[in-house]
């Protein structure tokens, strides 16, 4: 996985692709927390199956190939629905296809631990349309993302990257339909968590569909503040993040506190 130091470089905030080769099977392998994570995933997938997993008809071939790949790791039988696969794997997964015009389309997946977005709302949309809500992202990176995904070799290596955000809860499921505490002034650092999304991207050999895996790891903000190096990188990121992006990420109400706490 990408270390926290790479998420908080000693430079002004900017969007970056920053990918490195990774191992697909290792990414989806059981963690020490497996029982707890899978129990929570099963809970949400049973309570609201359509909210947390979805598949378009054009995604069925992608799901079949992805389920077969997962089954081969454990020499088990391939499951048939996104709900079943979402309950078997600890990370979330998304399946994308490329249209003849070259656009990437979201065909389905299981997203039980979303960072404030809802899978059914994004289903069938292009990646650029999905990213449109992130201020400045497409302007900075859409062509680079598209080139990177187009060049992924079917059956070739997987690539890792990560994103981070902050939340006033360590809950894994931050679906927009769920109540949650807001980031607001007067919170203490102990009441804030850094939410890291470890991501993996790979193109499947047969359908050439793209699998996008997301594993959320939640760190106490105090962990970042306790390290001089991370503290400096975090301070720099908060200070230099464009206000529209800080607003999108929900950080604006606490930006002064964050800068103060992380002052080198």
Q: What are the residues binding ligand HEM (CB under 6 A)?
A: 15, 17, 94, 96, 106, 116-117, 122, 127, 130-131, 133-134, 137, 141, 145, 148, 163, 165, 201, 212, 249
Tokens 């302007």 sit on residue:
139
Q: Which residue is nearest to ligand HEM (CB)?
A: 117
Burial of 33 (0-12, 13-18, 19+ CB in 10 A): exposed
Q: How far is the CB of 77 from ligand HEM (least distance, A)?
A: 27
> 30 or 242, CB closer to ligand HEM?
242
Contact of 106 with 125, CB cutoff 8 Å: yes
Q: At closest approach, how far in Å is the CB of 133 from ligand HEM?
A: 5
Which residue, 60 or 71, is less far from ligand HEM as judged by CB? 60
Q: Which is nearer to ligand HEM, 110 or 130 (CB)?
A: 130
> Minimum CB separation from ligand HEM for residue 53, in Å?
14
**How far is 239 from 223, CA to CA, in rounded Å?**
19
C-alpha to C-alpha distance for 128 and 155, rounded to whole angstroms: 24
Residue number, 81 or 116, with CB nearest to ligand HEM = 116
Q: Which 3-state string (H, E, C) describes 144-203?
A: HHHHHHHHCCCCCCEEEEEEEEEECCCCCCECCCCCCCCCCCCCCHHHCEEEEEEEEEEE
State in angstroms the smallest separation of the CB of 58 from ligand HEM: 15
By beta-carbon proximity to ligand HEM, the closer residue of 39 and 182 is 182
β-strand 210-220 against 92-98: which pairing, if any? antiparallel
Q: How far is the CB of 89 from ligand HEM (least distance, A)?
A: 16
The tokens describing 126, both together, are 């292009």
What minimum distance in Å lies between the beta carbon of 5 and ligand HEM?
Answer: 18
Pairing of strands 193-203, 210-220: antiparallel
Return the number of the residue (71 or 252) whose C-beta is nearest ligand HEM.
Answer: 252
């Amino acid at each position: 996985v990408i270390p926290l130091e790479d998420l908080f470089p000693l430079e002004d905030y900017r969007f970056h692709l920053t990918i490195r080769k990774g191992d697909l099977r290792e990414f989806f392998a059981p963690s020490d927390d497996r029982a707890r994570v899978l129990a929570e995933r099963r809970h949400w997938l049973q309570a609201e199956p359509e909210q947390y997993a979805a598949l378009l008809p054009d995604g069925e071939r992608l799901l079949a190939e992805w389920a077969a790949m997962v089954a081969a790791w454990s020499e088990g039988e391939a499951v048939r629905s996104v709900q079943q696969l979402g309950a078997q794997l600890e990370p979330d997964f998304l399946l994308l296809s490329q249209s003849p015009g070259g656009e990437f389309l979201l065909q389905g997946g299981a997203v039980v631990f979303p960072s404030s977005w809802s899978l059914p709302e994004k289903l069938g949309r292009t990646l650029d349309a999905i990213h449109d809500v992130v201020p400045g992202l497409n302007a900075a990176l859409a062509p680079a993302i598209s080139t990177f995904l187009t060049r992924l070799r079917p059956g070739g290596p997987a690539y890792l990257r990560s994103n981070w955000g902050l939340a006033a809860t360590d809950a894994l499921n931050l679906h927009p339909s769920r109540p949650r505490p807001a980031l607001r002034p007067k919170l203490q650092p102990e009441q804030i968590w850094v939410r890291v999304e470890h991501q993996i991207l790979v193109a499947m050999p047969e359908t050439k569909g793209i699998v996008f895996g997301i594993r959320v790891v939640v760190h106490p903000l105090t962990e970042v503040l306790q390290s001089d190096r991370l503290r400096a990188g975090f301070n720099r990121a908060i200070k230099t993040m464009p206000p529209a992006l800080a607003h999108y990420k929900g950080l604006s109400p606490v930006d002064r506190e964050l800068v103060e706490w992380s002052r080198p």
